[in-house]
Amino acid sequence: MGRQDFFDHGDLVAVLTTQPLDRLLDYKAPEGGCHLGAFVEVPLGPRKVLGVVCAPGRGDFDRSKIRPVIRVLDVAPMREEMQIFLERAAEYTLTPLPAMLRLATRAPGLGDPPSMRKVYRPGDSVPDRMTDARRRVLATLQEYGGLSFTLKELSDAAGVTPSVVKGLVKQGAVHEEDSPRDVPFPLLDEERASKALTADQAAAAEHLRRGIRSGTYGTTLLRGITGSGKTEVYLEAVAECFRQRQQALVLLPEIALSAEFIARVQERFGAKPAEWHSGVTITERRRTWKMVGQGGAQLVVGARSALFLPFLDLGLIVVDEEHDTSYKQEDGALYNARDMAVLRASICGAQVVLASATPSLESWANAEAGKYAKLELTSRFGDSALPDMCAVDMRGADLPSNRWISSRLAGAVRERIERGEQSLLFLNRRGYAPVTICRACGHQIGCDHCDARMVEHRFLKRLVCHQCGETRPIPDACPACGAEDRLAPVGPGVERLQEEASELFPDARIATLSSDLFGSARALKARIAEIAEGGADIVIGTQLVAKGHNFPLLTLVGVIDADLGLQGSDLRAAERTFQLMRQVSGRAGRADRPGEALLQTYQPEHPVIRAILAGDEDSFWRAEAEERRHAGVPPFGRMAGIILSSPDMQEAFDTGAELARNEAPLRCIGAQVFGPAPAPVARIRGRHRVRLLVKAPKGAALQKALAAWIAQVKPGPNLRLTVDIDPQSFY
């Protein structure tokens, strides 16, 4: 390669730091030298910061002023593949490289010496007095033939209190020693018996295994309705990866799903994988980060940022529920984990599996175009079919105001209660009511910092802004006209729906699942497990329940407002509604019980609603693809959103107008600029937001042109400019 890969003491090295600087900094290699890619601590002004040795130093300034690297961290150096990935990802998303490096080092204390913990193994002497408890401890140690335990593991396994173990340590009968905490993850055994696959599952699994064995890059769209066995199939690809002594990464859209998935990994491979998401402790994150780099973790299950872990030899990335919008990081670095998975795999020669019941139009189009392989699982395992789907025409439902459950839906719920089955009432709106209005003056209570209405959360007894999170107590009097007791909630949220359901079904056990009602991911997981086992008759939920939880007793899904997603100007509104409705209805009737889905709608003849009811996915995708092709929008054209935000509205607009005037770099590639216009949410957290939209033909070198275009303006200190390549939502 001709890369210089080791630097002797005193050689100049160029270091990329995690600090927001636009260039590499030169340092002197420390005593003992350092490798290319070494993670190092370097001085920056008065501080010590984390960095990576990226290249030989340029030496273009006074050598005597160049400071030495403080120390080389005791972790595996960054591999070339990772460095290329970060650079390409930075280019693609127009994110500064230091921000990419921060993503790749999100394990606090990486440089600390490995933390230690006490472990216990058999000692050499016999205790002076033998008790039953002591005997159990010694027997447990013996049974595992010299394995070491933590205090808790040992006392739990022996069924004694920790003080019994401590007593034996004093006597020398048990040996206590320090051992590093960052130990490898238990081995996963790919040769344990797997489930007998159906014919089309087996064919799909074989296709994926062949891909892994090829040792080259490839992406496969694995499509199949919920319950068709996609997970079962891609676990076979994971197994093949292990056989090739390679590592695998499975991305899930929601941490609450990971418990169920980890149980399945344990069942298939006999041990738990490493986890990487916001619910994992810092110690455990550090362990995962290090072990991934040393080959001490075969499988990582995680959220999107797991893509930036330093895998030693990655053979497979699975993106489960690939259409899920949470794969798009909407703060900090704006990247779509699905696209970055494909990028990373193409650099390191790995396979990607995109699994979904309702793929994104992008992936569907890529598969149609032959860029991705396509695998289809057609039937549900155990032959339970997709539920019957019907529209309930709300124009004829004649509901009193402040009621949202039609009599048809109520009747269907009642039948389920009688049969001991579960119903899901789906409404994608958190809180009690989306709007609070004053009946005296018509004032709607809004957030002081955002252009958004405050949403009443009766459970918390507060009004909450869903944009910025600001909360305040529910006032007694109207903040505009001062009238007392005239404030009224308008429209339904899940909390209000729960109230209605309790009135309609006074004896039913009702559980409401909404992300804001649970203090922690753990509490939510526990509640979901309880419900799955029959702990509720009616589940009321937001989007949260659409995502792959298994409720075997659920046979009815009632969609309270199927039209909700069709409002708004979002490019992907139709696609989202289609996916969400299909997913939610996919919750019904998994375990051999036929399901039914009722969609309440005021526009049953809307093409999207009709496509959902007909279950004719391919014609829906084709029609949707045709529309977007005409409009020249993704995936048939390229788009970028530019958001300018500032406390000063004029500044944001002026900068936007200046950009719009100087669009020559964009015109060169045939791109057009629209705007500036107020963003759909024109103010968030007190910052005014102005949006420009750039549309370019497919295949245009959009990023380069954008970079040149943006470089022309010099924003003031208060102005923030964010570029969003392939925007998922326009807010």
- Spell out where 525-669 has E strands: 538-541, 554-559, 596-601, 637-646
Which one of Zn ion, ligand ADP, none is in contact with 381 (Cβ closer than 5 to 8 A by kind)? Answer: ligand ADP
Asked if 224 is part of the footprint of ligand ADP (rule: CB under 6 A), the reply reads yes
Per DSSP, helices labelled H in 391-478 are 407-419
Q: Which stretch binds ligand ADP (CB under 6 A): 219-227, 323-331, 529-537, 630-638?
A: 219-227
Asked if 230 is part of the footprint of ligand ADP (rule: CB under 6 A), the reply reads yes
- Spell out where 124-260 has E strands: 174-180, 218-224, 247-251
Per DSSP, helices labelled H in 644-715 are 649-661, 664-667, 702-710
Gap between the Cα atoms of 300 and 277, Å rounded: 10
Count of chain residues binding ligand ADP (CB under 6 A): 14
Nearer to ligand ADP, 287 or 549 (CB): 549
Phi and psi at residue 402, in whole multiples of 5°? Answer: 65, 25
- Exactly one of 232, 456, 500, 575 binds ligand ADP (CB under 6 A); that residue is 232
| Rg over CA atoms, the chain | 29
Q: Is 561 left (phi over 0), alpha (psi -120 to 50) or beta?
A: beta
Gap between the Cα atoms of 127 and 136, Å rounded: 13
Smallest distance from Zn ion to CB 433, Å? 17
| Close Cβ partners of 251 (under 8 Å, ≥ 6 residues apart) | 302, 303, 304, 306, 307, 317, 318, 319, 320, 327, 337, 341
Q: Give the residue among 388, 425, 387 at the shortest CA–CA distance from 409.
A: 425
| Helix/strand/coil (H/E/C) assignment for every residue in 480-522 | CCCCECCEEEECCCHHHHHHHHHHHCCCCCEEEECHHHCCCHH
Asked if 226 is part of the footprint of ligand ADP (rule: CB under 6 A), the reply reads yes
Which one of Zn ion, ligand ADP, none is in contact with 449 (Cβ closer than 5 to 8 A by kind)? Answer: Zn ion
Asked if 63 is part of the footprint of ligand ADP (rule: CB under 6 A), the reply reads no
Which one of ligand ADP, Zn ion, none is in contact with 465 (Cβ closer than 5 to 8 A by kind)? Answer: Zn ion
* Cα separations in angstroms, 618 against 528, 575, 586, 615, 622: 33, 12, 17, 9, 6
Asked if 359 is part of the footprint of ligand ADP (rule: CB under 6 A), the reply reads no
Nearer to Zn ion, 336 or 436 (CB): 436
Smallest distance from ligand ADP to CB 592, Å? 10
Residues that bind Zn ion in the complex, under the rule CB under 5 A: 447, 449-450, 465, 467-468, 470
Nearer to ligand ADP, 223 or 416 (CB): 223
Using a 10 angstrom Cβ sphere, with 0-12 exposed, 13-18 middle and 19 or more buried, the burial of residue 123 is middle
Nearer to Zn ion, 468 or 497 (CB): 468
Gap between the Cα atoms of 373 and 236, Å rounded: 17
Smallest distance from ligand ADP to CB 203, Å? 12
Q: Are 146 and 231 in contact (CB under 8 A)?
A: no
- CA-based end-to-end distance of the chain: 46
- Exactly one of 77, 227, 434, 565 binds ligand ADP (CB under 6 A); that residue is 227
Question: Three-class SS of residue 617?
Answer: helix
Nearer to Zn ion, 237 or 447 (CB): 447
Asked if 195 is part of the footprint of ligand ADP (rule: CB under 6 A), the reply reads yes
- Exactly one of 147, 197, 390, 657 binds ligand ADP (CB under 6 A); that residue is 197
Nearer to ligand ADP, 320 or 561 (CB): 320
Smallest distance from Zn ion to CB 447, Å? 3
Nearer to ligand ADP, 57 or 224 (CB): 224
Asked if 258 is part of the footprint of ligand ADP (rule: CB under 6 A), the reply reads no
Nearer to Zn ion, 150 or 467 (CB): 467
Which one of ligand ADP, Zn ion, none is in contact with 277 (Cβ closer than 5 to 8 A by kind)? Answer: none
Nearer to Zn ion, 43 or 678 (CB): 678
Nearer to Zn ion, 447 or 557 (CB): 447
Asked if 229 is part of the footprint of ligand ADP (rule: CB under 6 A), the reply reads yes
Asked if 198 is part of the footprint of ligand ADP (rule: CB under 6 A), the reply reads yes
Gap between the Cα atoms of 13 and 69, Å rounded: 9
Nearer to ligand ADP, 563 or 617 (CB): 617
Gap between the Cα atoms of 405 and 501, Å rounded: 8
Q: Which stretch binds ligand ADP (CB under 6 A): 194-202, 360-368, 574-582, 656-664?
A: 194-202
Gap between the Cα atoms of 490 and 258, Å rounded: 36
Nearer to ligand ADP, 257 or 450 (CB): 257
Nearer to ligand ADP, 67 or 195 (CB): 195
The secondary structure element, H or E, covering residue 13 is strand 12-17
Smallest distance from ligand ADP to CB 260, Å? 9
Nearer to ligand ADP, 222 or 465 (CB): 222
The footprint of ligand ADP on residues 369-388 (CB under 6 A) is: 381
DSSP state of 149: B
The footprint of ligand ADP on residues 142-181 (CB under 6 A) is: none
Smallest distance from ligand ADP to CB 353, Å? 11
Asked if 634 is part of the footprint of ligand ADP (rule: CB under 6 A), the reply reads no
Asked if 220 is part of the footprint of ligand ADP (rule: CB under 6 A), the reply reads no
Q: Are 56 and 13 in contact (CB under 8 A)?
A: yes
Which one of Zn ion, ligand ADP, none is in contact with 228 (Cβ closer than 5 to 8 A by kind)? Answer: ligand ADP
Q: And the tokens for 12? A: 């100049």
Q: Which stretch binds ligand ADP (CB under 6 A): 195-203, 237-245, 286-294, 491-499?
A: 195-203
Which one of ligand ADP, Zn ion, none is in contact with 345 (Cβ closer than 5 to 8 A by kind)? Answer: none
Asked if 201 is part of the footprint of ligand ADP (rule: CB under 6 A), the reply reads yes
Please list the residues that pair with 568 across neighbouring strands.
none
Gap between the Cα atoms of 224 and 222, Å rounded: 7
Gap between the Cα atoms of 482 and 493, Å rounded: 26
Which one of ligand ADP, Zn ion, none is in contact with 468 (Cβ closer than 5 to 8 A by kind)? Answer: Zn ion
Q: Give the residue among 697, 700, 721, 726 at the shortest CA–CA distance from 711.
A: 721
Residues that bind ligand ADP (CB under 6 A): 195-198, 201, 224, 226-232, 381
